[in-house]
Amino acid sequence: MSIRRQGSRFAWLMTGAAIGTTVVLVLALVVPVPRQQLLPVPLLLPGVLLAILLGGLLGLVPGVRDLEVTAARSMLGVDSELVVPSRPGLVHRAQDVVWVQLHLLLGLLVAAFLTMLLPASVLTLVEALRGGESTLVPTASTAAGRFGIAAAALLSAVLSLAAFLPLGRLAARLAPRLLGPTSRDRLELALARIDRESERTRIARELHDGIGHALTIVSIQAAAGGHVIARDQDAAAQSLAQIEATAREALLDLDEVLAGLRDEAADGEAADGEAAYGEVADGGAAPRLDRVLEDHRRAGLDLRASVAVPRGLSRLQHEHLARIVTELLTNAHRHGGAGPVQLRVAEGAAATGERVVSVETSNPLSTTALRRDDARSEGSEGSEGSEGSESSKASGVSKVPEASASRRRGRGLAGLRERLELWGGTLEAGPSDGSWRARAELPILSERPRHDP
């Protein structure tokens, strides 16, 4: 233990001694004692204990727990979790009172050692060494007796000086029990952590669905442009134009995420709420969904799509539908093998009979995935579909290198399932007969937001 830490604990004990001494003096003024008389010795110790008990009521003063928690961390060196509840209960109040009482008691003990036992030990030691009469203990008549008294006095002086060490350690060990979280505090902390984790997950999902898709397209177009720049400058120019457009859209998506974090869009959400929940005017694919399909076709994906977005789908759900299609196609583009990718978007019915938008994709497995003895189950989605990525010159598709893809596994399908669960939807994905098949169902919700008249 460092000298600095011990000095901090000694200072903490001295603050308790100072407050305790003040409480004792105030109590002495209240207790009726005849003038020119000292408090009887039999009443001294009970009086000090009474002062400590009453001094514990200081723990009920607002802000005292904040100070005690700060002192326990900075002066006692407590690393355990200490809490300052926003709404203290009876248990917290009782803990505060007991902790303040303990603070005063330990401080007064150290003060008693230093101001009473230490001077008495030094005086006895000096008298024993001089060989004169002892003031506090019986006088020894022999040299051996005086030596024994001197040794005992020296030991008592050392113990008085070192008494704060075990008392400071005791306070540090009791602090987590009296200032730590109660069972209710632990529950609230757990719920707060869950909220924070949920927010992080939401942000990660938004970044993955928007920025991740855009970076995939940029990477594929950059690789394709690099291959053809020497022999086909027009194709390279198209790749650069696609990179520019995709990057611009990615910046807009990133700005939306950042605006949500800064709560800058809070005022606009209320005004746009009706539009967000309003129905899409036409029953065809929205412009964003069209752009998603066109981006992947330009990137070289042999996409064969049948898209029929049902009527009555809200704009907000339309946005989520575009994100779902984006993730499934990105997954097929990044990890699939050579061959066409089938996409089907249509209205269907769930097992419960409710209307749903069904999104189905099917793409060939990569050669790496086909070589596996056993296909992975849906629960082990670390591969985000079929694992591995091999370029196929025959298909004209530029794939992301396998080493790069392996570093990004484990996020897409998990985030997609979370997105669907928010709407009560489902996701089924896994290998089947040499292909990777995925089916997502998004319930069609027609409820509009309520507005006060």
Q: 3-state SS string over 388-410?
A: CCCCECCCCECCCCHHHHHCCCC
Confidence bin at 264 (pLDDT 50/70/90): very low
Distance CA 380, CA 389 (A): 18
Closest CA to 307 of 323, 324, 293, 327: 293
Closest CA to 8 of 53, 70, 99: 70
In terms of C-beta density within 10 A (0-12 exposed, 13-18 middle, 19 or more buried), how is residue 356 classed? buried
The pLDDT tens digits of the residues spanning 202-211 come to 777 667 666 7
Determine contact, residues 431/343, Cβ cutoff 8 Å.
Answer: no
- Least confident range of 37-41, 338-342, 417-421: 37-41
**In what order do the strands lie in the sheet containing 341-349?**
303-307, 341-349, 355-364, 435-443, 426-432
114, pLDDT greater than 90: yes
Determine contact, residues 79/193, Cβ cutoff 8 Å.
Answer: no
Q: Which residue has the tokens 């457009």?
A: 245
Give pTM, 2 decimals: 0.48
8, pLDDT greater than 80: yes
| Residue 75 neighbours by CB distance under 10 Å | 20
| Residue 406 neighbours by CB distance under 10 Å | 15
| Residue 215 neighbours by CB distance under 10 Å | 17
At what angle are helices 412-422 and 315-335 packed, to 10 degrees? Answer: 160
Confidence bin at 398 (pLDDT 50/70/90): very low
Determine contact, residues 108/21, Cβ cutoff 8 Å.
Answer: yes
Q: Which residue has the higher pLDDT, 398 or 293?
A: 293
Q: Which residue has the higher pLDDT, 21 or 267?
A: 21
- Least confident range of 292-301, 382-391, 404-413: 382-391
